[in-house]
């Protein structure tokens, strides 16, 4: 993820039009202190051949991640196959990762669910399991009704009750829904909303978010290497702090999580099986992926 940070001098701002302000409480001050600059790979969830979570392989991956100077890890992002995990599995994976993190590395845990109530409950469990912040995807099943009003209400209720800072997550390739710009700008004023991870790849939009939140301590995270350099330039021109994104678009955008897991195996990590209904790559897809890696000098 690429962090593009705009500094804020005020504790809170009034909501445009309604002049609503959120009171900063002691539990919300962490959002202002937590700096997300740095590399945060969104880790995969390894499964056994029977599609059980393979905690042993996960821990072995974590030992290898520990040798790389990441700022932290994203757990239960899109690459973690979180929609296919039970609530208990999602929490246990976060707990397992937390126990292996050393040196003050941050853990950002995905806690998004379809309902506000379920998201609040899971967020509280993720915080108890050790998450330093939560990454919350837009609810999307009723995407025709998920306008700015609904999404502002959803994220505001969550942020009001979350014991850890919240990072908004817009990933339209998976949800079919982009978090509206006006909603991002309004939600950026909440003292417990730390920033937004935008995986849409629209640099104009990312630039607008940075510009419209430049008076605030709001961090913009770009979720693909496909627009790393452009996002870096947006951050540089805005006199903001930047970091490096997490994943190469060749894998996840082209062939998805099955390709990511295959690539992990080639590079000495445990990818493991996917959980159904995701299927492994076909032989032709695997050969194409290998050719792509080879042509770029990675294999």
What's the CA gap between 222 and 1, in Å, rounded?
5
Instruction: Sort 45 into a burial class: Cβ within 10 Å, 0-12 / 13-18 / 19+.
Output: buried
> Closest Cα to residue 200, out of 243, 230, 170?
170
- The pair of structure tokens assigned to 101 is 């993190």
What's the CA gap between 262 and 251, in Å, rounded?
9
Query: Catalytic residue positions?
Result: 169, 197
What's the CA gap between 142 and 205, in Å, rounded?
24
- The pair of structure tokens assigned to 9 is 């001098």
Helix (H/G/I), strand (E/B), else coil: 283: helix
What's the CA gap between 109 and 181, in Å, rounded?
23
> Closest Cα to residue 118, out of 148, 79, 90?
90
Rounded to 5 degrees, φ, ψ at 110 are -70, 125
């Amino acid at each position: 993820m690429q962090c593009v940070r705009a500094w804020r001098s005020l504790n809170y701002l009034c909501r445009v039009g309604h002049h609503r302000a959120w009171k900063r409480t002691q539990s919300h001050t962490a959002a202002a202190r937590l700096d997300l600059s740095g590399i945060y790979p969104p880790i995969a969830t390894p499964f056994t051949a029977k599609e059980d979570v393979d905690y042993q392989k996960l821990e072995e991956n974590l030992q290898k991640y520990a040798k790389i100077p990441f700022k932290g890890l994203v757990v239960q992002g899109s690459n973690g196959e979180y929609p296919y995990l039970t609530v208990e599995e999602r929490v246990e994976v976060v707990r397992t990762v937390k126990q292996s993190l050393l040196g003050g590395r941050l853990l950002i845990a995905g806690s998004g669910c379809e309902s506000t109530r379920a998201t609040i409950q899971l967020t509280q469990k993720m915080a108890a399991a050790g998450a330093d912040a939560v990454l919350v995807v837009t609810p999307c099943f009723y995407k025709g009704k998920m306008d700015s009003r609904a999404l502002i209400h959803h994220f505001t209720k969550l942020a009001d009750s979350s014991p850890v800072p919240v990072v908004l997550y817009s990933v339209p390739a998976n949800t079919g829904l982009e978090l509206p710009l006006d909603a991002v700008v309004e939600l950026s004023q909440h003292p417990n909303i730390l920033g937004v991870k935008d995986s849409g790849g629209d640099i104009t939009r990312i630039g607008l978010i940075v510009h419209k939140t430049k008076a605030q301590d709001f961090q913009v995270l770009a979720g693909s290497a496909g627009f790393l350099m452009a996002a870096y330039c947006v951050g540089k021109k805005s006199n903001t702090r930047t970091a490096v994104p997490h994943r190469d678009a060749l894998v996840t955008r082209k062939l998805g999580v099955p390709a990511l897991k295959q690539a992990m195996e080639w590079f000495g990590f445990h990818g493991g099986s996917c959980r159904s209904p995701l299927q492994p790559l076909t032989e032709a897809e695997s050969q194409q992926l290998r050719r792509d890696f080879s042509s770029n000098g990675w294999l």
